[in-house]
Amino acid sequence: MKIAILGGTGPEGSGLGLRWAQAGHQVIIGSRLAEKGQQVAAELKSLLPSGDISGADNLTAAQAADVVVLSVPYEAQSPTLDSVAGALDGKLLVTVVAPTRKPKARVWRLESGLSAAEEAQQQLGDATRVVAAFQNIGAHNLKDPAAELDCDVLICGDNKDDKQVAIDLCTDANMRGVDAGALQNASVVEGLTSVLIGINIRNKVGNAGIRITGI
Amino acid sequence: MKIAILGGTGPEGSGLGLRWAQAGHQVIIGSRLAEKGQQVAAELKSLLPSGDISGADNLTAAQAADVVVLSVPYEAQSPTLDSVAGALDGKLLVTVVAPTRKPKARVWRLESGLSAAEEAQQQLGDATRVVAAFQNIGAHNLKDPAAELDCDVLICGDNKDDKQVAIDLCTDANMRGVDAGALQNASVVEGLTSVLIGINIRNKVGNAGIRITGI
């Protein structure tokens, strides 16, 4: 698949991109500035010379892709989606966004009463299908594609086929994806990010995660 | 400790009671009707003849206890707390309540915008300290106190000492308690219950749980 990662220059987006490139996908690192996307793409290529990795501005990346991943801070979500308006029509958007603000260990309830993923779906309208995934993984170790991460990925969305694409992307990134229900449930998965940040702080670790047991 | 379990006649409350009695605590099974509490206490005694287990109406149970556990359906939370008004002053309330409604696999956002645990805290006022715990465990296997449950218990509250009491109660019930931050974070932990119900349904299992990794 051709995967664009909007805001793919950060540690999580670039780490996922590297893993997907290693799995054989064509990866486009998107950024507000094309040069920054190209620079990070070049860095990833140096780690994985065989990888099909390029960089572009977010709009160009979104236009070229089959699946678009949104990996920006919550504050940048709405303007980033605006900047690629139209290019997401008919496509699947996998959003990694988890809203946090200081104190980050405290769950942030958005004013809308919705999850960030539902806000994205509202903004984009029905032409784009939105799935939430990868909110609860640490960026730590992502760039070592052989490293198995001791965590599961909870996936929320309203369409089973779209969630299966996200589950397959988890597998390709060497993680297990678990269907966590409707897009509405993303508020819980996004909030878990703050819970895990607090667990990291209190336990003086850097990579607390969750596993689903009993399945 | 003397532990009263309000609504302790259900599978989760009685299962926890049995485990705490086995750990040496004095357990009072509370119910709206004293007879029902006494009946379930007798059943638990037959499983654990050495256990200090009795039954009473909720108010009598709450008055007698050091720590009070609330184990009722969400719809019964407010009337149950009303029925023990005053008896919880100066005490710790550990609430097990997780609001669910049909379809249960969909996270229920309460009208208040709060978690059920925060609603309990608001109703009770500052004289009672509220901690949320045990939302995400299945009742399955609880009555076999030797059975190790493959899940962690997330604990939310605004006071570290109170959370430590809850963590110790987890240990006494043969589970691991993990501090999940402020009481406000209980909305995530309560919502996880719906996520786990959905995971149970989709995977045709009965006991999905969560584990925190990396600590």
CA–CA dist B99, B89 (Å, integer): 24
Amino acid at A19: R
Quick one: CA torsion of A87, A5, A158, A88, rounded to 10 degrees? 0
- pLDDT digit string (tens) for A82-106? 999 899 999 999 999 999 999 999 9
Which residues of B touch chain A, with CB atoms under 8 Å apart? 105-107, 109, 113, 138, 150-151, 154, 178-182, 184-185, 187-189, 191-192, 194-196, 198-200, 202-203, 205-215
CA distances to A24, A211, A215, B81 from A165, in Å: 15, 20, 20, 46
| Residue A141: per-residue pLDDT | 83
| Residue B191: per-residue pLDDT | 98
Nearest to B94 by CA among B64, B63, B142, B62: B62
**Based on C-alpha coordinates, what's the Rg of chain B?**
16
| Residue A182: per-residue pLDDT | 98
For residue A192, which residues of chain B lie inside 8 Å, CB to CB?
188, 192
Count CA atoms closer than 13 A to A52's CA, side-chain side. 10
Question: Length of chain A in residues, anyone?
Answer: 215
Amino acid at B18: L
Q: What residue has token string 């260990």?
A: A105
Catalogue all structural domains in chain A, each as residue range(s) with its CATH number: 2-203 (3.40.50.720)
The per-residue pLDDT string of chain B (215 residues; one tens digit each, 9 = 90 and over) reads 999 999 999 999 999 999 999 999 999 999 999 999 999 999 999 999 999 999 999 999 999 999 999 999 999 999 999 999 899 999 999 999 999 999 999 999 999 999 999 999 999 999 999 999 999 998 888 988 778 899 999 999 999 999 999 999 999 999 999 999 999 999 999 999 999 999 999 999 999 999 999 99
Q: Under an 8 A CB cutoff, do A188 and B192 touch?
A: yes
Tokens representing A20? 């997907």
Name residue A54's beta-bridge partners: A28
Nearest CA in chain B to A160: B202
Backbone angles phi, psi at B88, to 5 degrees: -95, -5
Q: Do B20 and B175 meet the contact criterion of CB atoms below 8 Å apart?
A: no
Nearest to B56 by CA among B72, B20, B32, B77: B32
Backbone angles phi, psi at B179, to 5 degrees: -65, 115
* Distance between A56 CA and the closest CA of chain B, angstroms: 35
pTM confidence score: 0.96
For residue B113, which residues of chain A lie inside 8 Å, CB to CB?
109, 113
| Residue A172: per-residue pLDDT | 96
